[in-house]
Amino acid sequence: MIRRTFIHVLAACAVIAFGAAPAMAEKAKHGVVIQVSDGDPKNWNQALNVVKNVQAEYGKDKVDIELVVFGYGSGMLKFDSTLANRIDETLAGGAQVLMCENTMKGQKLAHADMHPKIGYVKAGVIEIVEKSRQGWTVVRP
């Protein structure tokens, strides 16, 4: 009798657990990290278009996007960049734009030189590696 009750409880737990799994999977957000490490405005525009396209496909509330910038890409995040308006639009759309502080140090750039609304990471490459390890998709347009 106890064994039969235990089996019924175990079966009920399995049904609950497996029934909840698809619902939990639906709520999980996609994570996309976009690498920008060159200063070509065409590549920058393409990266910013990728952000919009991914958000349009999945829905802004169902995807986390980080645009991680290092190396030669730093110039496009300066406060006087020709792409400043597009950076504003990207940030307003919910994506994060993150600048590598190692690159800034190497290029003798200060936060005051950069777009006022961006965020910072100590090392852009490490941010990308860590996001990849967490299951995020890495894109380099």
The answer to whether position 59 is within a domain reads yes
The answer to whether position 22 is within a domain reads no
9-31 pLDDT per residue, tens: 334 444 444 444 444 445 578 99
Is residue 136 within 8 Å of 33, Cβ to Cβ?
A: yes
Top-confidence residue, 24 or 82: 82
Q: How confident is the model at residue 6 (pLDDT cuts 50, 70, 90)?
A: very low
Q: Domain containing 108 — which CATH number?
A: 3.40.1260.10
The answer to whether position 16 is within a domain reads no
Contacts of 76 (CB under 8 A, 6+ apart): 36, 39, 41, 44, 69, 82, 83, 87
What is the spatial distance between Cα 87 and Cα 47, in angstroms, rounded to a whole number? 11
Contacts of 63 (CB under 8 A, 6+ apart): 29, 30, 31, 32, 54, 55
The answer to whether position 20 is within a domain reads no
97-134 pLDDT per residue, tens: 999 999 999 999 999 999 999 999 999 999 999 999 99
Number of domains in the chain: 1
Return the ∠ at Cα 67 (arms to 66 and 71), rounded to 5°: 135
pTM: 0.80
Is residue 115 within 8 Å of 136, Cβ to Cβ?
A: no
The answer to whether position 64 is within a domain reads yes
Top-confidence residue, 20 or 34: 34
The answer to whether position 62 is within a domain reads yes
The answer to whether position 119 is within a domain reads yes
Tell me, rounded to whole angstroms, the distance of Cα 39 from its chain centroid.
20
3-state helix, strand, coil in the chain (%, to 5): 60, 20, 25
The answer to whether position 128 is within a domain reads yes
Is residue 83 within 8 Å of 46, Cβ to Cβ?
A: no
pLDDT score recorded for residue 26: 52
- Note down the domain range covering 101: 29-139
The overall average pLDDT reported for the chain is: 86
pLDDT score recorded for residue 28: 76
Is residue 83 within 8 Å of 121, Cβ to Cβ?
A: no
